[in-house]
Amino acid sequence: MTVEFKLLFGACAVALMSYSTTVAAQDCPRGDLDARFCDVDGDLVADTPTDPADQVNPDTLIFAYTPVEDPAVYKEAWSDFLTHLEAETGKSVVFFPVQNNAAQIEAMRSGRLHIAGFNTGSNPLAVNCAGFSPFTIMASEDGNFGYEMEIITYPGSGIESPADIEGKQMAFTSPTSNSGFKAPSAILKAEFGLEAEKNFEPVYSGKHDNSILGVANKDYAVAAIANSVMSRMIERDVITPDQVVSIYKSQTFPTTGFGTAHNLAPELKESIRNAFFNFEWEGTSLKAEFEKSNEGQFLEMNYKDFWDVIRKIDTANGVSYACE
């Protein structure tokens, strides 16, 4: 199965034309990055522009969290952190409630998004096409991090293992999601000889909470989801554990990657990094929400190493990205 993702940004391209032409004219290494970017240091993410005129230092910073669940829940959850971010940067910060992964990537590519948490599967596309520079993930207080992809069904569905998915309908979230599409597609093909469209019918719910609720309410017979999202939904009493049955659990994957647009001014990037790493979680709205999935600190990471397994899954799925 070969999947090619193309992002079409229409009018946004006009605003970027001058900058794009300048960068494209440079003779610089870029690997898989879009022609607008350079990667001189070989870390697989876009370098900060060397010309100060191409660096951005806005009065208001826009922040968006990956749209894995209801945006309203996360606007409140991130409120204390964003207040801290304002204090650290001296700027106003606005929460942008994106509805899907493509909209979030488009917003950063067009210069309308400065700080973001992109989901695991979207990180490569955000890095290569939008100039996203991730530097941290959430972790437990003892330093453990990540989540697993689980394939779930409901009690009495007749599906007892992934092999039983053949001939049935299976819910995914979106094609850019690691646990919601990429990882289960690779695993089902490699371990069970099952391919979407060929051996079962794929449907797309849009978000992990939609897939989980769909299974719990018996709208979907089976779905691939991120178990960290399911844990938080159980903690909030959105579903009960006895409404779902797990029939497959993957290896551990890195969770949401947080970072900035590549072209922010260096001093601004540094103050944003500091805000993540000196944030005191105890007693905050962020702690209240994310302790439900055993997370309580920001752990420094780098895209090149932490996302190696995700890039390998993309390769196994025949995924290529075309940025237009």
Q: Whole-number mean pLDDT of the chain? A: 90
Q: Which fold has domain 3-143+254-323?
A: D-Maltodextrin-Binding Protein; domain 2 (3.40.190)
pLDDT at 71: 73
Residue ranges of E strands in the chain: 3-7, 60-65, 92-95, 115-118, 132-139, 147-153, 169-172, 201-204, 222-226, 245-253, 257-261, 297-300, 319-323
pLDDT at 176: 85
pLDDT at 37: 96
pLDDT at 69: 66
Q: Using CA atoms, how far apart are residues 81 and 104, in angstroms rounded to an integer?
A: 20
Q: Which fold has domain 147-252?
A: D-Maltodextrin-Binding Protein; domain 2 (3.40.190)
Matching fold, domains 3-143+254-323 and 147-252: yes
The pTM is what? 0.77
Is residue 254 left, alpha or beta, with left meaning phi > 0 and alpha meaning psi from -120 to 50? beta
Higher per-residue pLDDT: 4 or 68: 68
Boundaries of every domain in the chain:
3-143+254-323, 147-252
